[in-house]
Amino acid sequence: MDRDDIKLEQPLAAGDVAFPGHRRHAPPLYGVMAEFENPSDLVAAAHKVYSLGYRRINGYSPYPIEELSEAIGFTKTSLPLIVFIGGLVGALTGFFMQYWIEVIDYPINVGGKPYNSWPAFIPITFEMTVLFAAFSAVLGMLILNKLPQPYHPVFNLPNFALATRDRFFLAIEANDPKFNHAEVVDLLKSLNAVAVNDVEV
């Protein structure tokens, strides 16, 4: 059933929020999104929101802003560890693949050199290290970021297309323990935001 077909006849009850299309029930809320015109306002707002104890928050920007991820309290990632392990696995795979083939499974005497002529195995060991580490970096980044992700609620905000151009966004998500709709809207409005909107799931 299309929820948009239900038109609200009576005025909104107290505590209800007016949603586009005047639906009877508020659709599930993803969060509240504030829009900013420049990175400094966004970072300042993120600092403020974080210091008030909100933790399920996220910033959106057209380019990486180091200060922003610091402001929302996101400074650690396990990616370097993943890449290190990937590189290590690559090195071991590269070397022992050659060792097993040249020493155990298919030994060939080349000019009286030892079967385990390890210096000759170094170039391929190195290449395999880099290959595995690079795959770990790319796939690790995508998996940790949960990409590809075709749908995400933030795209419901019409202006969000500008997040890849020249606008900056800060979201306080509805599942934050401190989330109170009216308080959050007031808070974001007080932070130099050019617009504050609800984001539906």
Partner 1 sequence: MQDEAHKPYTEGPMHSTAPVIDPGLTFASVTDKISSIVLKRKTSLAWFFGFAISFALFQLMLLTITNLVFVGIGLWGVNVPVAWGVDILNFVWWIGIGHAGTLISAILLLLRQRWRTSINRFAEAMTLFAVAQAGMYPIFHLGRPWLMYWLFPYPNTMGIWPQFRSPLMWDVFAVSTYATVSAMFWFVGLIPDFATLRDRARSKPFQILYGMLAMGWRGSARHWHRYEMAYLLLAGLATPLVLSVHTIVSFDFAVGIIPGWHATIFPPYFVAGAIYAGFAMVLLLTIPLRRFYGLEGFITMRHMHNMGKVMLATGLIVGYGYIMEAFFGWYSGNKYERFMIWNRMHGPYSVYYWALILCNIIAPQFLWSKKIRSNLLALWIISFIVSIGMWLERFVIVVTSLHRDYLPSSWGQYQPTQWDWGMFIGTIGFFFTLLFLFIRFLPMISIFEMRTILPEAEVEE
Residues numbered 26 to 55 that lie near partner 1 (CB under 8 A) are 38-40, 43-44, 46-47
Strands (E) located in the chain: 29-36, 57-60, 168-173, 195-200
Cβ-based neighbours of 22, under 8 Å, separated by 6 or more: 7, 8, 12
Q: Does 61 participate in binding partner 1 (rule CB under 8 A)? A: yes
**Cβ proximity to partner 1, 152 vs 189, nearer residue:** 152
DSSP string, 129-143: HHHHHHHHHHHHHHH
**Cβ proximity to partner 1, 154 vs 195, nearer residue:** 154
Of residues 65-84, those binding partner 1 (CB under 8 A): 65-69, 72, 74-75, 77, 79-80, 83
Binding partner 1 by CB under 8 A: which of 2, 5, 9, 105?
Answer: 105
Q: Copy the structure tokens of residue 158.
A: 């019409």
**Cβ proximity to partner 1, 154 vs 185, nearer residue:** 154
Binding partner 1 by CB under 8 A: which of 17, 25, 55, 117?
Answer: 117
Report the 10 Å Cβ neighbour count for 128: 20
